[in-house]
């Protein structure tokens, strides 16, 4: 590999001068500048970012620990995060984390000595959180948060759950079920709490079988749907824990020959880009501002990295209903 030393020899200068040409060309005389640049081009020299990181003690790299892309929410956020980081001259190392490989993913990030970590995959009482704070690496969570988090970006999940149920109730539904993810995930937990509060406020009867907490695999969701649809008293409406859940449920409905919304109303939460597609048109709850959570988070993170800014970041975006066509008046 051709190094700055090789360039220096070729140009008849010292290695330090080559370094200066790259990092502070205003310090070097025009004549030598040209000589060095010529040598760089002749030798096809490309500086080694790893060596640079070593001496400067920063890598210009951010680790992204995202949920899987089959969840369209993470498609939107990943896209926003990677693009904004690129604009700001940060590189993103992405991992799509499942629970099994979680701690491995963290280790990788730590070893790379990334300048910051942006992550979604954290549980409300995750023990990894301690490790993360002790690392002294700036990090921020989006969508989910840990109970002790001081840096996070989310939507108002409680309100989202509340509005979700409220919408169904206002449409005249009395049999409303919930299907959402595990309650050790802050997002699902708060949404579910909001949902239950609305149900209670409007004095709707909510049988135990209508409260379904499941993991996020396609199969588990399908099984939950199947169970729900084979109850004696089956629900006329389902509030899904997220748009991703809603999409799965809509698919399940189709395979069970049920039309949405004619036979069954379904509402999501997140208002992902895909939900606006004309062939889907999912009714959902989403951020009023329409700002992408990933974008908000990466902006803040880069600010934290650059300015050693230590004040908290606790952003909770207000939400509203996006009334589209997967729910209907009873």
Partner DNA sequence: ACAAGAAATGAATACGTATACATTTTTGAT
Partner DNA sequence: ATCAAAAATGTATACGTATTCATTTCTTGT
CA dihedral 243, 181, 109, 90 (to 10 degrees): 20
Q: Which of 29, 31, 57, 307 binds its own copies (CB under 8 A)?
A: 57
Residues 121-180 that bind DNA (CB under 7 A): none
- Sign of the alpha-carbon dihedral angle for 198, 199, 201, 207: negative
Is residue 50 part of the contact set for its own copies (CB under 8 A)?
A: yes
Phi, psi of 221 (to 5 degrees): -65, -45
Binding region for its own copies (CB under 8 A) out of 48-56, 181-189, 204-212, 287-295: 48-56
Is residue 222 part of the contact set for its own copies (CB under 8 A)?
A: no
Q: Closer to its own copies at the Cβ: 30 or 55?
A: 55
Per the rule left: phi > 0, alpha: psi between -120 and 50, beta: everything else, 118 is beta
CA–CA separation, 252 vs 133, rounded Å? 41
Closest by CA to 66, choosing from 7, 110, 117, is 117
Is residue 224 part of the contact set for its own copies (CB under 8 A)?
A: no
Is residue 56 part of the contact set for DNA (CB under 7 A)?
A: yes
**Which among its own copies, DNA, none contacts residue 280 (Cβ within 5 to 8 A by kind)?**
its own copies
State the burial class of residue 200 (Cβ atoms within 10 Å of its Cβ: 0-12, 13-18, 19+).
exposed
Residue 115 makes CB contacts below 8 A (sequence gap 6+) with: 58, 59, 60, 61, 62, 90, 137, 138, 305
Q: Which of 88, 183, 229, 280 binds its own copies (CB under 8 A)?
A: 280
Q: Which of 93, 197, 222, 316 binds its own copies (CB under 8 A)?
A: 93
CA–CA separation, 272 vs 268, rounded Å? 9
**Which among its own copies, DNA, none contacts residue 5 (Cβ within 5 to 8 A by kind)?**
DNA
Residues 126-145 that bind its own copies (CB under 8 A): 134
Task: Give the angle subtended at the CA of 215 by the CAs of 209 and 220, to the nearest 5°.
Answer: 70
Minimum CB–partner distance for residue 292 and DNA (Å): 33
Task: Give the angle subtended at the CA of 330 by the CAs of 262 and 265, to the nearest 5°.
Answer: 45
In the Cβ-directed half-sphere of 294, how many Cα atoms lie within 13 Å?
24
Is residue 91 part of the contact set for its own copies (CB under 8 A)?
A: yes
Residues making contact with DNA (CB under 7 A): 1, 3-5, 12-17, 19-20, 22-23, 27-29, 31-33, 45-48, 51-52, 54-57
Residues making contact with its own copies (CB under 8 A): 1, 44, 46-51, 53-54, 57, 59, 61, 68-70, 75, 78-79, 82-83, 86, 91-96, 101, 105, 107-108, 110-113, 134, 247, 250-251, 253-255, 273-274, 277-280
């Amino acid at each position: 590999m051709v190094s700055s030393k090789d360039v220096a020899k070729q140009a008849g200068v010292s290695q330090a001068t080559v370094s200066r040409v790259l990092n502070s060309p205003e310090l070097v005389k025009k004549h030598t500048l040209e000589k060095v640049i010529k040598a760089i081009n002749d030798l096809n020299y490309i500086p080694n970012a790893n060596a640079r990181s070593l001496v400067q003690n920063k890598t210009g790299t951010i680790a992204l620990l995202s949920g899987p892309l089959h969840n369209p929410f993470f498609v939107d956020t990943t896209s926003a995060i990677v693009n904004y980081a690129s604009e700001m001259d940060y590189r993103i190392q992405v991992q799509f984390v499942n629970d099994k490989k979680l701690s491995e993913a963290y280790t990788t990030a730590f070893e790379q000595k990334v300048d910051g970590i942006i992550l979604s995959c954290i549980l409300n009482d995750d023990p990894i959180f301690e490790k993360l704070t002790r690392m002294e690496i700036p990090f921020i969570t989006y969508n989910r948060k840990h109970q002790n988090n001081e840096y996070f970006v989310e939507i108002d999940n409680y309100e989202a759950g509340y509005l979700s149920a409220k919408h169904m109730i206002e449409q005249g539904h009395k049999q409303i079920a919930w299907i959402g993810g595990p309650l050790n995930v802050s997002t699902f937990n708060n949404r579910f709490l909001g949902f239950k509060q609305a149900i209670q406020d409007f004095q709707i009867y909510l049988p135990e079988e209508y409260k379904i907490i499941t993991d996020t695999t396609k199969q588990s969701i399908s099984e939950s749907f199947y169970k729900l649809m084979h109850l004696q008293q089956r629900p006329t409406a389902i509030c899904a824990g997220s748009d991703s859940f809603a999409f799965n449920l809509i698919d399940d409905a189709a395979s069970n020959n049920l039309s949405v919304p004619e036979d069954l109303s379904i509402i999501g939460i997140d208002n992902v880009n895909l939900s606006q597609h004309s062939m889907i048109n999912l009714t959902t709850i989403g951020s009023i501002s329409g700002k992408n959570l990933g974008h908000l988070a990466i902006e803040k993170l880069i600010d934290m990295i650059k300015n050693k800014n230590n004040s908290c970041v606790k952003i909770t975006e207000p939400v509203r209903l996006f009334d589209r066509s997967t729910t209907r008046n009873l």
